[in-house]
Amino acid sequence: MKRTKVVDALQCTDFGKEINVRGWVRSHRSSKAVDFIALNDGSTIKNIQIVVDPTAFDAEVLKSITTGSCLNVDGVLVESQGKGQTVEVTGKHIEVYGLCPSDYPMQKKGQSFEYMRKYAHMRLRTNTFGAVFRIRHNMAIAIHKYFHDHGFFYFHTPLITASDAEGAGDMFQVTTLNLNELTRDENGNIDYKDDFFGRKTSLTVSGQLEGELGATALGAIYTFGPTFRAENSNTPRHLAEFWMIEPEVAFIDKDELMDLEEDFIKYCVNWALTHCKDDLEFLNQMIDKSLIQTLESVVKERFVRLPYTEGINILEQAVANGRQFEFPVTGWGMDLSSEHERYLVEEHFKRPVIMTDYPAEIKAFYMKKNDDGKTMQGTDVLFPRIGEIIGGSVREEDYGKLVAEIKSRGMEESAYSWYLDTRKYGSCPHGGFGLGFERLILFVTGMQNIRDVIPFPRTPKNAEF
Ligand code: ATP
Ligand code: MN
C-alpha cells in the first residue's frame, strides 16, 4: 500500500479507509485489552496513534516494540475516541523495520540538551530537535523567498579564499602541504609555492567582499552559505562553522539599509509564525513560555534606531543608577558585549534596536566613515535574548579613503587589489549586512544554545559527528 505521511493522515477525514503509515515509535503503552503506539515520521511534531488489539498479534513481537523502533503499519483510519487527537489508526498488520535496543540514547524523555549533544547524531529523532530543524528549513525557504521576491540574485561566493574579510585572523587554513615536511625559506617562513593554490589559503569568514563584486554588477545580491571562524569563543552564540546570509545592494543609503534589515527579519519571523505553528506551539510549551509572544511583538514593533554614542550614554546612566554588568562599561570607544546589547533591547527599550555610527576603530576596514572622521555608518541589529543578530554597514566607496584605511591598519594592500577594483572602476555607493542564520534560529525557536540549532555543531574541540 502507498505510504501516507503522518502530517497528511492527521488531516484526513476519510474514516474507514485503509491506510499505510510508517515511522518511529515515540511511546508504546500496553494493557490487557489494547495497545497504543504513538508513531512519528518527522513530517510533523504530532504523532499518530496506532491502536492494536494484542490478541491479533504475536505477543513476543508486540512486546519487543519499544520507543525508537521503526514500523510499517497497515490499518484503518478511524475517528479517535481519545482526547487530543481527531484520527487514529486501527492497526491490522505491523511490519517491524527495525527494533530499538534498550541502550538507545534517546529513550528517556526529558534528557538535558547537554546530554543530547553527546549523541548529536541521534538527537534529531526527538520532538524538540524535530521541531527545531523543521523550523530551520522553513527559515531557509523564507530567506530565499524574501530576496527572490525583492529582486535580489542568489550569488555564490567561494568558501576557499586567499583574503581575510574581517582583517582579524581567526581563520582555518586550507592546505595540501605535508605538515611533517614543510619547506621553509631563509627567514624560516613556510613556502606556499608548492601548496595546492600556490599561496596561503583559508576557509572564508564571510562572503561579503566577493558579494560586493556581485552587487556592483547585478545591483542586488545575497549569499547564503557556510562560513568558518577559528575563534576560540566558547559562548552559547558562537560556532566555528555557521551559516550566514549576506545581502549586498548598490545605491542604498544608511536609512534604506536599516529599512531593509528590519523588513527582512520581520518577514522571516512572521514566516515562522504562519508556517511553523505546530512546532512553535510545542516549543512555546516546552522551551520558553513567552516564545510566541516575543515573536509576535518583534513583528509588530518598530525597531529603535540608536546611535552608538547615545547607547553608551544609556549604559553609563544605568551603571550610575546601580545596574551591574559582568563586563565593565568603559565609555565611548568600547565594544559592546552581548549583555550590554541585551540591556538596551530587553530592559531599556523593550524592543529590537538598530545601533548605528560606531567608532571606526572597533569595526572593519570597509565601512564608510562619517564626516566627523571618528564614526562609521554601521547598522547592527540587536535582538532580545541574542544581542547582535545582524552586522551591517554602508561601505566606503571612495578608492583613496579605502586604500588609506587598509594601509593604516597594516593590511596588505596587494591582497585586496581585486576588491579595490570595485572602487577604481565605476565605484558606487552601496551597503549590506550579514545575518547569522543560527542566531535567527535561536531567536525563533527559543533555544538557549547555538549548538542546539545546527544539526552537527562545530565548536572548539568538537567535530565528532
Ligand atoms: P560577535 O560580536 O557576536 O562575535 P561579529 O561582530 O563577529 O559578532 P559579524 O562579523 O558582523 O559578527 O558577522 C555577522 C553576523 O554573523 C553576526 O551578526 C552574527 O549573527 C553572526 N555570527 C558572527 N560570528 C558568529 C559565530 N562565531 N557563530 C555564529 N554566528 C556568528
Ligand atoms: Mn565575532
Specify the CATH number of the domain 127-170+205-452. 3.30.930.10
CA of 124 from ligand 2 middle (Å) equals 28
392 lines ligand 1 (CB under 6 A): no
pTM recorded for the entire structure: 0.95
Q: Which residue has the cell 543530547?
A: 116
Hey, whose CA ends up nearest to atom 26 of ligand 1?
238
Q: Considering the domain 6-98, what is its CATH architecture?
A: Beta Barrel (2.40)
Q: Are strands 87-98 and 70-79 parallel, antiparallel or unpaired?
A: antiparallel
User: Distance between CA atoms of 433 and 442, rounded to whole angstroms?
Assistant: 19
Protein residue with least CA distance to atom 1, ligand 1 = 388
CA-to-CA distance for 280 and 263, rounded, in angstroms?
21
In b/e form, how buried is each residue of 343-363, taking b as 16+ CB within 10 angstroms?
A: bbbbebbebbbbbbbbbbeeb
For a mutational test of ligand 1's pocket, the pick from 172, 203, 238, i.e. the residue with the most ligand atoms closer than 8 A to its C-beta, is 238
In whole angstroms, how large is the CA radius of gyration of the chain?
27
Q: Is 32 exposed, middle or buried (0-12, 13-18, 19+ CB in 10 A)?
A: exposed
- Tell me the best of 244, 379, 389 to mutate to test the pocket of ligand 1, counting ligand atoms within 8 Å of each CB and taking the most: 244
Q: How far is the CA of 237 from the centre of ligand 1 (A)?
A: 8
Alpha-carbon span 148 to 193, nearest angstrom: 42
Distance 238 CA to ligand 2 centre (A): 8
Residue with cell 578608492: 399
pLDDT at 240: 96
Distance 10 CA to ligand 1 centre (A): 40
139, 227, 228, 237: residue to mutate for ligand 1 pocket, most atoms within 8 A of CB: 237
Asked if residue 458 has its Cβ within 6 Å of ligand 1, the reply is no
Distance, CA of 392 to CA of 379 (rounded, Å): 5
- Do you know the residue count of the chain? 465
| Residue 89 near ligand 1, beta carbon < 6 Å | no
**Ligand 1 and 388: CB distance under 6 A:** yes
Percent of the chain with pLDDT over 70: 98
Q: What is the pLDDT of residue 290?
A: 97
User: How many angstroms separate the alpha carbon of residue 435 from the centre of ligand 1?
Assistant: 8
Pick the ligand that lies closest to the CA of residue 389: 1
Q: Given the CA of residue 240, which atom of ligand 1 is nearest to it?
A: 27
Residues of the chain with pLDDT under 70: 164-169
pLDDT tens track for 164-182: 655 555 899 999 999 999 9
Taking the centre of ligand 2 as the mean of its atom positions, its distance from the CA of residue 458, in whole angstroms, is 15
Grid cell, residue 352, equals 529590537
**Interstrand relation of 160-161 and 173-174 (parallel, antiparallel or unpaired):** unpaired
Q: Ligand 2 center to residue 243 CA distance, Å? A: 14
Indicate if ligand 1 lies below 6 Å from the C-beta of 229.
yes
Q: Compute the distance from residue 214 Cα to the ligand 1 centre, in Å.
A: 22
Asked, colleague to colleague, whether 6-98 and 127-170+205-452 share their fold, the answer is no
Which protein residue's CA is at the shortest distance from atom 9 of ligand 1?
391
Pocket test for ligand 1, best of 208, 353, 388 (most atoms within 8 A of CB): 388
CB atoms within 10 A of CB 400: 9
423 lines ligand 1 (CB under 6 A): no
HSE (side-chain half, CA atoms, 13 Å) at 443: 31
Atom of ligand 1 nearest to the CA of 231: 27
> In whole numbers, what is the pLDDT of the chain averaged over residues?
95
> Is the Cβ atom of 239 under 6 angstroms away from ligand 1?
yes
Atom of ligand 1 nearest to the CA of 244: 16
Residue 334: all three cell numbers together: 568600547
Domains of the chain: which residue ranges? 6-98, 127-170+205-452
